[in-house]
Structure 1
Amino acid sequence: MRRAVIAACMLLASPTTSAEEVIHVAYSERPPYMITQPDGTPGGLTGAPATAAFKHAGIPVQWHKVPTNRQLMMVKDHASPSCAIGWFNTPERRQYGKFTKPIYRDRSWVVLTNAAFAARNIGSLAELARQHDARVLVKDNYSYGELDAFMQHWQPVTAISTAPTLKMVQSVSKGMVDLMFVSDDEGHYIIEHHAGQQAPNLRLLQFKDMPRGMERYIMCGKSVPDEVIARLNKAITFK
């Protein structure tokens, strides 16, 4: 009888004493959004609030620093619960992912270009749309918010890259392409901290008709329980 009572107590206790499943969280080095800290966690504009949310929610995490396309593969893979940091919430991504509350909002979009293209003195998106020979560099599987529709209407010469942002910046500086769209935060950070010898040939163009910056989220796969999303939302402090 005593053994039966002990066994029953163990069964009742097991849901609270069993180890919680680890969430695999992916990110890539992308200052100022994500900068790996000495302890291996991501810091930066989106990395820091995401790290804090998982910590304050008490959710066990395994961090993975991987390229963006690999992040999407992890989120789409239902075999293990995975999330990725700093993604836009789009209708396409909602088909395979769940989103938390926003963790950050970009200030605005800007055009990162080189001195030769900047010499055209373009002052708005409306004027840019008339430059049909412009060569635009975009990141593979990225969304540029409202600029996606703008580029579909504009239909410039488009080059798609899987390279890190700084490699893409080199292509702009060397004149291999004319421009790329970046957030105001990222553009100024690149010019001030990472452009190096390329800086004198780079320009940031700010247009009055540029759409507002987008909110960024933690995107998780369908295998991540809704209860985990709810706990993260409760821990997220961005308003």
Structure 2
Amino acid sequence: MPTANRARSNRMRAQASIAFMRFALALCLALASKVSAQELGPIQLHYHERPPYAFTQDDDTVTGITAAPAEQAMRRAGLAFKWVRTPSNRQIQLLERDTGKNCMVGWFKNPQRQLIGQFSAPLYRDKPTIGLALFSNTKIDSGIALEQSLQDSSLRLLVKDGYSYGDFIDGLIQELKPKKIVTTVENLNMLRMIALDRADYFFIAEEEANELVKAAEFRPTDFKYIHFSNSPSGSQRYLWCSRQVSEATMAAINQAIVELNADSQLDEHAEVLH
């Protein structure tokens, strides 16, 4: 009888062990399937309406001087993606939460942003930063240094919350502490704030200023461009991606961007030769 009991006990332990292994195998397969689905799922390319960098066309496609190379890089790397129109502050929140495969199109790189996301190879380099002011504003004109405008207590600088204007200008703003008006609205409404004399000027890349005045339906003569005597070369713009985007995927994106930039330089060289 003791022998029969031991045999029955051994069978029960064996059955329990097999059942546990089956459960563990099923759990591993489920987790592997979930990881695979996450890796294969499309990258969300986030943008907000900001001509000429990124904007929606009449046929609902997205284009622009940062949007177009971002899409080309995704296609060249063979990656699935989906365009998502998202306000800029919401884009920052998505990266802070790191809950999905998100890439923000056309952002500047700085140390604070590198703490919550990863940056691609550069998509585009801006022209030098200018100031945008009302033409009738006699307190500010071209030819002054950036430091002069920022130290002038009579001038109200309009800045967008969470934005970077490049390392040099960001550093001057932090050091000189100008009179600032901080807003969360997009550039179109920032221009309207200037028109309503709620601020004196704001920083912007010249190529964007041209499109902005057109989009706002103001007359170009209503505003003036402030060319600073020491404005540095424009900053580069990147894809700013969440940590959920794998290293392998980022490597594929970067390789595609590098190849596209090389192709573009060859095309420019060929045009010069012709």
Matches within 5 A, 1:1-239: 20-38=40-58, 40-118=60-138, 120-121=140-141, 123-124=143-144, 125-145=146-166, 146-191=168-213, 193-197=214-218, 199-236=220-257, 237-238=260-261
State how far apart, in whole Å, the 1-side matches of 2:112 and 2:140 are. 36
The amino acid that maps onto 1:127 is Q
- What secondary structure does 1:116 align onto? coil
Structure 2 counterpart of 1:207, which letter?
F
Q: Where does the alignment leave 5 or more consecutive residues of structure 2 unmatched?
A: 1-28, 263-274
Between structure 1 and structure 2, the one with the greater Rg is: 2
Residues 88, 215 of structure 1: 8 Å contact kept:
yes
Q: Which deviations, in whole Å up to 9, do the C-alpha atoms of 1:21-72 show, x marking residues without a partner?
A: 2211211010000012355442111010001111111111122101001111
Cα distance in 2 for residues equivalent to 1:73 and 1:194: 27
For 2:72 and 2:177, the matched residues in 1 are separated by 41
| Structure 1 residues 172 and 44: CA distance shift in structure 2, 3 A | same
SS in 2 for 1:117: coil
Where 1:182 maps in the other structure, the secondary structure is strand
The CA distance in 2 between the partners of 1:180 and 1:153, in whole Å, is 17
Structure in which a larger fraction of residues adopt helix: 2
Higher relative contact order structure (alpha carbons within 8 Å, sequence separation ≥ 6) = 1
Secondary structure of the residue aligned to 1:238 is: helix
2:78 partner amino acid: G
Question: Structure 1 98/195 Cα, relative in aligned 2: closer, same or farther at 3 Å?
Answer: same
User: Identity percentage over the alignment?
Assistant: 32
More displaced 10-residue stretch of structure 1: 182-191 or 27-36: 182-191
- Local SS of the residue matching 1:123: coil
> Which structure carries more strand by proportion?
1
Give the Cα–Cα distance (whole angstroms) in 2 for the partners of residues 210 and 74 of structure 1: 32
CA RMSD in angstroms, aligned pairs only: 2.1
Distance 1:62 1:199, change over 3 A: same
In 1: Cα distance, 2:219 partner to 2:175 partner: 31
**Cα shift readout 1:76-118 (whole Å, capped 9, x = no counterpart):** 2332111100011110011110111000000110000112334
Deviations 1:178-213 (A, max 9, x none): 00000011112223x224235332111112211221
Contact kept, 8 Å, 1:29 with 1:35, in 2: the verdict is yes
When the two structures are aligned, how many residues end up with a matched partner?
Answer: 224
SS for the counterpart of 2:122 is: strand
Compared CA separation, residues 157 and 40, structure 1 to 2 (3 A): same
Note if contact 2:187-2:212 (Cα within 8 Å) is conserved in structure 1: no
Tell whether the 8 Å contact from 1:23 to 1:81 is kept in structure 2 after alignment.
Answer: yes
Partner secondary structure for residue 101 of structure 1 = coil
What 5-or-longer segments of structure 1 have no aligned partner?
1-10
